[in-house]
Amino acid sequence: MKAALAERAADVRAAWPPLPRRTRPQRTVLAIRTPLSRRTTTILTVGSLAVPFACWVVLSATGAVPATFLPSPGAVLSVGWEMARSGELAVDAWTTTRRVLEGFGLAVVVSVPLGILMGTFHAGQAAFEPVIGLLRYLPASAFIPLLIIWLGLGEPSKIAILFIGTVFFNTLMTADVVRGVPRALIDVSYTLGAHRGEVLRKVVVPHSLPGIIDAIRVNAAAAWNFVVVAELVNSTAGLGYRIVRAQRFLQTDKIFAVLVVIGVIGVTIDVALRLVRTRVGRWAA
Amino acid sequence: MGRVTLELVDVSMDYRLRGKEKRALDSVNLTVSPREFLCVVGASGSGKSTLLSLVAGLTMPTSGQITIEGHPITGPGPDRGLVFQAGSLYPWRTVERNVAFGLELLGLDAAERSRRVDWYLAETGLAEVRRSLPRQLSGGQQQRVAIARALVCEPAVLLLDEPFGALDVQTKEDMQLLIRQIWRDTGTTVLMVTHDVEEAVFLGTRVVVLASEPGRVAADLRIPLAEDRSLATKRSPAFLELRASIEDMVRAQHRGGVTA
Ligand SMILES: Nc1ncnc2c1ncn2[C@@H]1O[C@H](COP(=O)(O)OP(=O)(O)OP(=O)(O)O)[C@@H](O)[C@H]1O
Ligand SMILES: [Mg+2]
């Protein structure tokens, strides 16, 4: 009976047309998760910077866009050099950087332990997740007027905006990372004699560290954005303040110069954090 | 040192699943003597992992009592070393620092630690890779690290939950020979869970068959094979007969569970 069945199946299959052939596409630049040749990588990397820059040069040099709107790279460079020489730029850059260090630093100091707590203990999650989940949807910039009423126009309100803008996200992201510590790793640690605090210190924290640094990297970028916004409102120094001043006098070249500086410092922070991440997370690679 | 290493008396375990109670283990009685190598076999879902997790102290039984060397179990501890199927090494620690973990917790100084770690690394054939990270090891090597890490704490009983389940056949046989050798060299008591009957008969001095739904002890057999076992043992008539009869039992218990 089995044989008869097989025979019938074979008969049916004989009548089927052959399956269409799919040609395997050649290896392309867009093959999923396939490493590129060094040359292609270089071309793409250089291009992604060079093309926009070339557009800038062409647009400003041909006068297609008036210089008041789009200053030439040369003009930006010379005004930047001037600002640097007068010492004004260093003061602004340091003022802004210090605000980030203070505001975001405070946020990290609060959010990392809080996130670890939330990711480790259900009680921590139950107590904090709802309120933080809500608070993070309130835009930090909307707090600026309130904070000025509460804290005045000085430094504290700016630090507070940075803090509010980053602390909730960093907490939730840290908690997520900590929740990713495999159950088996925690269980096995207990069977090796670890107490709760030791599991936290010797297992949960080291396992989460690379992920926590990743979260900090993402939120450092956000902090860097918030500080400029905060400085737009009321300041006497800082890169954001410099932009507002320049706008009043229609100094587009100065705005551009400050933007370049903001970008450079931001990238420097990111690269530094990435180096730390690579060092700490070598085991995960 | 008591006559009994591990004793389970009327141990039952219910899980709550979406408000409904599900009985995973039903009135299990089991006694493990010092130096025994007890293998627990059973179909998937028969409660093997549950049993180990209860003995490890990671979960508490719904009813019944478990004692280790006469003391009731109140939680996990290094007197019951646990090895999972895979993925329980500390990925940021080198092999030797993984093995040293339990000794660090005990506060042993570096010299004392490395003396002991060295012995277990040699015993498990890991001396060459002592400074490697877990991700740089093969699956078999990783399991050896997990075993060494548990053994260095000198547990009263070594708990193994399908420790070779994720390995290929050759590596698995190497590991079987290794765990036999470790068992004989260290005189440790072993409680191992597996669904591989051949493995259970080859390794065990005793095999317990669990029935499914709910998990119960269906059979408890002494393995009358010589202490000295090699891969050739697996081809001996006595071995094959034992294996076949236990496999029949496991299958019968499983089918019983499905139709019940
Ligand atoms: N945390 C849990 N919550 C609810 N039910 C569970 C839980 N853990 C196990 N169970 C149930 O208990 C029974 C026994 O599970 P257990 O994991 O002990 O089986 P096992 O014999 O180890 O199976 P396998 O061979 O597949 O590993 C199963 O029916 C399972 O669905
Ligand atoms: Mg299991």
- Residue A9: predicted pLDDT: 66
DSSP secondary structure of chain B: --S-SEEEEEEEEEEEETTEEEEEEEEEEEEE-TT-EEEEEE-TTSSHHHHHHHHHTSS--SEEEEEETTEEP-S--TTEEEE-SS--S-TTS-HHHHHHHHHHHHT--HHHHHHHHHHHHHHTT-GGGTTS-GGGS-HHHHHHHHHHHHHTT--SEEEEESTTTTS-HHHHHHHHHHHHHHHHHH--EEEEEES-HHHHHHH-SEEEEEETTTBEEEEEEE--S-S---GGGGGSHHHHHHHHHHHHHHHHHHHHHHH-
Q: Is the pLDDT of residue A106 over 80?
A: yes
Q: Is the pLDDT of residue A98 over 80?
A: yes
Kindly report the average pLDDT of chain A as a whole number: 89
In this structure, the number of other CB atoms found within 10 A of the CB of residue A242 comes to 28
Give the mean model confidence (pLDDT) for residues A255-260: 92
Among residues A156, A54, A44, which one has the least CA distance to residue A106?
A156
ipTM of predicted assembly, 2 dp:
0.90
Q: Is the pLDDT of residue B232 over 90?
A: no
Q: Is the dihedral of CA A134, A140, A146, A148 positive or negative?
A: positive
Quick one: which H or E segment has residue A200?
Answer: none
- Residue B34: predicted pLDDT: 92
Q: Which residue of B has its CA nearest to A188?
A: B82
CB contact under 8 A, A192 and B133: no
- Residue A31: predicted pLDDT: 80
| pLDDT tens readout for residues B11-20 | 999 888 888 8
Q: Which atom of ligand 1 is nearest to the CA of B17?
A: 4
- Residue A209: predicted pLDDT: 94
Give the mean model confidence (pLDDT) for residues B178-203: 92
- Residue B260: predicted pLDDT: 40
Q: Is the pLDDT of residue A153 over 80?
A: yes
Give the mean model confidence (pLDDT) for residues A50-70: 89
Backbone angle region of B160, left / alpha / beta, with phi > 0 → left and psi within -120 to 50 → alpha: beta
* For chain A, domain boundaries: 38-70, 73-284
Backbone angles phi, psi at B7, to 5 degrees: -140, 130
- Residue B103: predicted pLDDT: 94
CB B212 within 8 A of CB B250: no
| pLDDT tens readout for residues B130-165 | 999 999 999 889 999 999 999 999 998 999 999 998
Asked whether residue B119 is assigned to any structural domain, the reply reads yes
Q: Is the pLDDT of residue A250 over 90?
A: no
DSSP secondary structure of A216-250: HHHHHHHHHHHHHHHHHHS-SSSHHHHHHHHHHTT
Go through chain B and tell me how many residues it has: 260
Of the candidate ranges A145-149, A158-162, A281-285, the one whose mean pLDDT is the lowest: A281-285
Q: For the domain with range A73-284, which CATH number is right: 3.40.47.10, 1.10.3720.10, 3.20.20.210, 3.40.140.10?
A: 1.10.3720.10
Find how far residue B97's CA is from the centre of its chain: 22
- Residue A103: predicted pLDDT: 93
Q: Which atom of ligand 1 is nearest to the CA of B195?
A: 25
If you measure from the C-alpha of residue B75 to the centroid of ligand 1, how many angstroms do you get, rounded to a whole number? Answer: 20
The answer for A 185-244 residues in CB contact with B (under 8 A) is: 185, 187-194, 198, 202-203, 206-207
Q: Is the pLDDT of residue B2 over 60?
A: no
- Residue A1: predicted pLDDT: 57
How many structural domains is chain B composed of? Answer: 1
Atom 11 in ligand 1: which residue has the minimum CA distance? B24
**Predicted model pTM:** 0.85
More confident residue, B226 or A208: A208
Domain of residue B161, residue span: 77-186
β-strands B157-161, B80-83 pairing: parallel
Asked whether residue B51 is assigned to any structural domain, the reply reads no
CB A232 within 8 A of CB A244: yes
CATH label of the domain that carries residue B143:
3.40.50.300
Q: Is the pLDDT of residue B257 over 80?
A: no
- Residue B259: predicted pLDDT: 42
| pLDDT tens readout for residues B159-181 | 999 999 888 898 889 889 999 99
Asked whether residue B108 is assigned to any structural domain, the reply reads yes
Q: Which one-letter amino acid corresponds to residue A215?
A: A
Give the mean model confidence (pLDDT) for residues A117-132: 92
* Tokens 């803008």 found at: A165
Find how far residue B61's CA is from the centre of its chain: 19
CB B42 within 8 A of CB B195: yes
Backbone angles phi, psi at B10, to 5 degrees: 50, 45
Backbone angles phi, psi at B8, to 5 degrees: -115, 125
In this structure, the number of other CB atoms found within 10 A of the CB of residue A177 comes to 22
Q: Is the pLDDT of residue B28 over 70?
A: yes
CB contact under 8 A, A283 and B133: yes
Write b or e for each residue in B172-206: b if 16 or more Cβ atoms lie within 10 A of its Cβ, otherwise e.
Answer: bbbbbebbbebbeebebbbbbbbbbbbbbbbbbbb
CB contact under 8 A, B105 and A193: yes
The secondary structure of A24-74, three-state, reads CCCCCCCCCCCCCCHHHHHHHHHHHHHHHHHHHHHHHHCCCCCCCCCCCHH
In this structure, the residues whose C-beta lies within 6 A of any atom of ligand 1 are: B 15, 17, 22, 24, 42, 44-50, 195
pLDDT band, residue B1 (cuts 50/70/90): very low
Of the candidate ranges B25-39, B112-126, B224-238, B243-257, the one whose mean pLDDT is the lowest: B243-257
If you measure from the C-alpha of residue B43 to the centroid of ligand 1, how many angstroms do you get, rounded to a whole number? Answer: 11
Ordered strands of the B189-194 beta sheet: B80-83, B157-161, B189-194, B37-42, B206-211, B216-222
Give the mean model confidence (pLDDT) for residues B83-107: 93
Of the candidate ranges A8-22, A124-138, B64-78, the one whose mean pLDDT is the lowest: A8-22
Write b or e for each residue in B231-255: b if 16 or more Cβ atoms lie within 10 A of its Cβ, otherwise e.
Answer: eeebeeeebeebbeebbebbeebbe
A182: nearest CB among B82, B87, B102: B87
Quote the percentage of chain B above a pLDDT of 70. Answer: 97
Per-residue tokens: A6:
């097989």
Atom 6 in ligand 1: which residue has the minimum CA distance? B15
Per-residue tokens: A36:
């590129």
